[in-house]
């Protein structure tokens, strides 16, 4: 499909201009865009003369690939893909599906001010090549991946994507499975030998620096305190199992947010409107886990008992967590 897309700028604003034949106009998509009621669609203006020109206000927006590090790792790219899928699911609830959105990584934007992803509501009905599978493949094929990560975490995702059109559920499941595994790193240069163990103070010894899990930690001289990296501090592993669909969610951050705002939480519950945007967070401290209700509308319950907002409650193995009407099993 020959798309007439250009950029128009003046002193203050920047617009993406998309021109189509009036006979090919996608009324559903454009009507949603003109209403300006959805914060996941780029603000749109439509001019109809001989053809139809849709003007998208991209003044303060950046393409999604600019919203992640220049050399991203697995977690950066997989988080972006999950957020894209969650937003698409939210738009689908308003009857905007793949043919109604321009699924091209260069024309999906991130609003840094509002911290949300924004899609172009397509002015024409998109062809079969405009789909989630092609979008994900384009992202992982063109990312400037972090050089010291072993990319084996892409093997299964690529294998499934190469089958053709894949459902969003399949992509999320594969990504979640990979996120449960630690990233493997490629050692490009041999590390220097560790200093010998010194029994007793040694005034000549110096801290020994090394790379581990992509972070720098300091092994102190004998008799001094060791500064541990974040990966060393997070020894315990916890998993939430969503009872609705048996989805496993690994708690892999010292502060792990749960809610329905895909740009602000670590696990997004996009298919339940009773969940607050940032409903609750789970905190890991000294290998113990605590949950905090972030003043949610419909509360947090532990083993059937409602907890107070903004108060830490410790979680123990096999606890039942209810966020509004969503049940999870917490396991260590």
Q: Give the closest residue to 202 by CA, choosing from 218, 224, 228, 226.
A: 224
Q: Write out the two tokens for 241.
A: 């199992």
In this prediction, residue 222 carries a pLDDT of 40
CB atoms within 10 A of CB 210: 13
In this prediction, residue 235 carries a pLDDT of 52
For residue 35, name the pLDDT band (cuts at 50, 70, 90).
confident
In this prediction, residue 105 carries a pLDDT of 96
Task: Estimate the share of the chain in helix, then strand, then coil, as percent rounded to the nearest 5.
Answer: 25, 30, 45
Domain with CATH 2.60.200.20 in the chain: 238-331
pLDDT digits (tens, 9 = 90+) for 125-144: 888 889 999 999 999 999 99
Residue 180 pLDDT > 90, yes or no?
no
How far apart are the C-alpha atoms of 100 and 32, rounded to whole Å? 10
The class of domain 238-331 in CATH terms is: mainly beta
pLDDT digits (tens, 9 = 90+) for 228-273: 444 444 456 899 999 988 888 889 889 999 998 877 888 888 788 8
């Amino acid at each position: 499909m020959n798309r007439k897309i250009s950029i128009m700028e003046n002193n203050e604003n920047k617009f993406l201009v998309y021109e189509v034949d009036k006979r090919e106009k996608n009324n559903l998509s454009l009507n949603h865009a003109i209403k300006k009621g959805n914060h996941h669609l780029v603000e749109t203006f439509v001019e109809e003369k001989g053809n139809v020109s849709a003007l998208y206000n991209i003044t303060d927006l950046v393409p999604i690939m600019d919203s992640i590090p220049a050399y991203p790792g697995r977690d950066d790219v997989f988080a972006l893909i999950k957020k894209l899928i969650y937003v698409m699911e939210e738009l689908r609830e308003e009857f905007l599906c793949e043919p109604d959105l321009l699924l091209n990584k260069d024309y999906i934007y991130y609003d840094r001010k509002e911290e949300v992803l924004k899609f172009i509501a397509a002015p024409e009905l998109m062809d079969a090549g405009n789909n989630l599978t092609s979008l994900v493949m384009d992202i992982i094929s063109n990312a400037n991946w972090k050089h010291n990560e072993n990319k084996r975490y892409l093997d299964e995702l690529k294998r499934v994507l190469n089958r053709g059109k894949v459902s969003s559920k399949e992509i999320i499941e594969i990504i979640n499975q990979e996120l449960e595994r630690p990233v493997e790193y490629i050692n490009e240069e041999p590390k220097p030998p560790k200093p010998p163990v010194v029994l007793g103070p040694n005034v000549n010894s110096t801290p020994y620096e090394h790379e581990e899990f992509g972070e720098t930690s300091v092994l102190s001289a004998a008799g001094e305190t060791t500064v541990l990296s974040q990966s060393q501090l997070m020894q315990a592993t916890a998993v939430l199992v969503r009872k609705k669909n048996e989805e496993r969610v690994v708690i892999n951050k010292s502060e792990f947010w749960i809610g329905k705002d895909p740009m602000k939480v670590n696990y997004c519950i996009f298919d339940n409107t009773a969940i607050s945007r940032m409903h609750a967070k789970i905190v890991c401290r000294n290998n113990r886990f605590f949950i905090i209700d972030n003043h949610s509308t419909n509360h947090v319950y532990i083993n059937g008992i409602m907890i107070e907002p903004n108060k830490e409650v410790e979680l123990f193995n096999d606890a039942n967590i209810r966020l509004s009407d969503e049940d999870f099993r917490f396991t260590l």
